[in-house]
Amino acid sequence: MTFKYLLAGVRISCGLITAICLNSALAAQATEVLWLGQSAFRITSPEGKVILVDPWLTQNPTTPAKWKNLDELGKVDVILVTHAHGDHLGDGPTLAKKQNVPLYGPAGLNQSLATLGVLPVALAPRMNKSGTIKPVGDKIKITMVRAEHSSELVWKNPETGKDETHVGGEPVGFIIQLENGFTIYHMGDTGLFSDMKLIADLYQPDLILAPIGGHYVMDPKQAAYATNNWLKPKFAIPMHYASNPFLVGTPAQYIEALGNTGTKVLPLKQGEAASFY
């Protein structure tokens, strides 16, 4: 099913950025995308399903104080983790057990979480790239796709008190297709790779959540190249910057590098949300 989106405007008020779009009458309610810092997002679908991605919150220096209280997240239906690094796995296991919901990550990561006793097997289901799941009903599809990064799991052994490095699987991104067809591509931590064009051709994302900080991920110019030449989404929210001294890329640099583009960039602040109608 094809939807046409007409951007009517973007307004900022009370810490909320709202992208107002007109589409099919099927999209009677908004999709809300709340940025919680780094790569952490709470996505609320048009029918109220809540998808949490890369929930590094309590130890994240850029997450607003309110959201360090995990109870403020409210009900969560499913958790997605793009790779094993602590600034992405973060509070995922704690939240999975607290809310009794599955945490989906790379197969190798979830195997380690189960083997080490971090999560029970039922809350650490395995999947891998190209796999598609429907964890919150038949109307939402989530597909795991490639990312270009690394994914070692550092785990503190409770018996020795020492850090150990374990298998973390391969890093991934997620394609999230919601009830009304609105499609989000959370790119995870990634460098450039030309198969981004294949991902765009297959899934045609309306919104990308794009890392721009550099050093560990794409810098603004690289992210702009991928956006303009391969992905060509209607909207982009920059992420994964300003949380440590190495991540120096900025939304302003990303916007400048994009130049004359068909993509509307929504430079959220941590704790702000964009709503798509």
Per-residue pLDDT of the chain (277 residues; tens, 9 = 90+): 233 333 433 333 334 444 444 344 444 589 999 999 999 999 999 999 999 999 999 999 999 999 999 999 999 999 999 999 999 999 999 999 999 999 999 999 999 999 999 999 999 999 999 999 999 999 999 999 999 999 999 999 999 999 999 999 999 999 999 999 999 999 999 999 999 999 999 999 999 999 999 999 999 999 999 999 999 999 999 999 978 899 899 999 999 999 999 999 999 999 999 999 8
Q: What angle do CA 41, 43, 45 make, to 5 degrees?
A: 175
Residue appearing with tokens 């990312």: 147
- For position 272, what pLDDT does the model report? 97
Contacts of residue 36, Cβ cutoff 8 Å, sequence gap at least 6: 42, 55, 57, 60, 63, 64, 67, 270, 271
**Encoded tokens for 151:** 């994914």
Tell me the sheet residues that pair with 184. Answer: 176, 207
Task: Please give the Cα distance from 119 to 115 (Å, whole number).
Answer: 8
C-beta separation of 110 from 155 below 8 A: no
Task: Please give the Cα distance from 224 to 210 (Å, whole number).
Answer: 9
Task: Please give the Cα distance from 276 to 257 (Å, whole number).
Answer: 25
**Encoded tokens for 150:** 């690394």
Half-sphere exposure of 238 (CA within 13 A, CB side): 32
Task: Please give the Cα distance from 145 to 131 (Å, whole number).
Answer: 8
CATH assignment of 29-265, given 1.10.490.10, 3.60.15.10, 3.40.50.1110, 3.50.50.60? 3.60.15.10
pTM of this prediction?
Answer: 0.91
- For position 13, what pLDDT does the model report? 30
Report how far apart, in Å, the C-alpha atoms of 100 and of each of 78, 79, 92, 111, 248 are.
Answer: 9, 10, 11, 18, 37
Task: Tell me which residue of 1, 14, 53, 10 sits closest to 275, measured CA to CA.
Answer: 10
C-beta separation of 194 from 222 below 8 A: no
**Residue 34, exposed/middle/buried by CB under 10 A (0-12, 13-18, 19+)?**
buried
The amino acid occupying position 159 is E
C-beta separation of 168 from 177 below 8 A: no
- For position 199, what pLDDT does the model report? 98
Task: Please give the Cα distance from 141 to 72 (Å, whole number).
Answer: 26
